Amino acid sequence: MAGQSIERREILRMLALAAGAASFPGFCRWTFACGHLGSGIEQIRPAAYRPAFFTAAQYATIERLADIIIPTDETPGASQAGVAEFIDLMVSRDATLQANFRSGLEWLGTHSRKTFGNNFLLLAPTKQAGLMESLAYHKKYRAGEERGREFFNLVRQYTVMGFYTSEIGLKELDCPGLKFYAESPACPHKDDPEHLHLPRPKG
């Protein structure tokens, strides 16, 4: 694709050369500030993290739920991407989210004790996953678990938000990330019949 291989540094040099650009307020600082791009900020490590909103037990539950939703298998999962920290940060800033997460966690605790006689975190992983599956899949829905399903949707939403905005998650999606181009990028698949290349209208 046109210009895709051009190094960022080269693009910045080119931008700086563009007529008069450097004389505009903010431009020099902009080019300077971009020096941090690609360095990547180190993800917060779970062990060192002190939750801003959740209690230790609630936080561990959120971490476990996120890992059931996006597990670590051949690719990294929610815990490597720091999803629980992200959820804790977002929830700590919003009273409505706090109420929804708190009541959802309470529902899960009650439900877990009623079904298996123990707190969610103390259940075997298969039992934990079993509880989640009846909240996640239409075919496994059970009557009377509407609150639980709402909570599952909430946790899933925030897990996906946290995972696929992390460096790890975006790498898994093969997201090319931020790129600069020297010229307007064009479709490179000239021989693909699905990508029709018609002549431009005559001007």
Q: Which residues bind another protein (CB under 8 A)?
A: 2, 11, 15, 18-21, 23-27, 29-30, 33-34, 36-37, 40-41, 43, 86, 89-90, 93-94, 97, 161-162, 165-167, 170, 177-187, 189, 194-198, 200-203
Residue closest to 103 by CA, chosen among 95, 136, 183: 95
Taking the complex as a whole, the smallest distance from the CB of residue 68 to another protein amounts, in Å, to 21
Smaller CB separation from another protein, 119 or 165: 165
Residue closest to 70 by CA, chosen among 165, 139, 147: 165
Taking the complex as a whole, the smallest distance from the CB of residue 117 to another protein amounts, in Å, to 36
Smaller CB separation from another protein, 94 or 133: 94
Pair of tokens at residue 103:
């009541």
Smaller CB separation from another protein, 128 or 166: 166
CA atoms within 13 A of residue 162's CA, in its CB half-sphere: 29
DSSP assignment of 88-114, as one string? HHHHHT-HHHHHHHHHHHHHHHHHHHH
Smaller CB separation from another protein, 121 or 170: 170
Taking the complex as a whole, the smallest distance from the CB of residue 103 to another protein amounts, in Å, to 18
Spacing of C-alpha 77 from chain mean position: 11
Burial class (CB in 10 A: 0-12, 13-18, 19+), 101: buried
Taking the complex as a whole, the smallest distance from the CB of residue 181 to another protein amounts, in Å, to 4
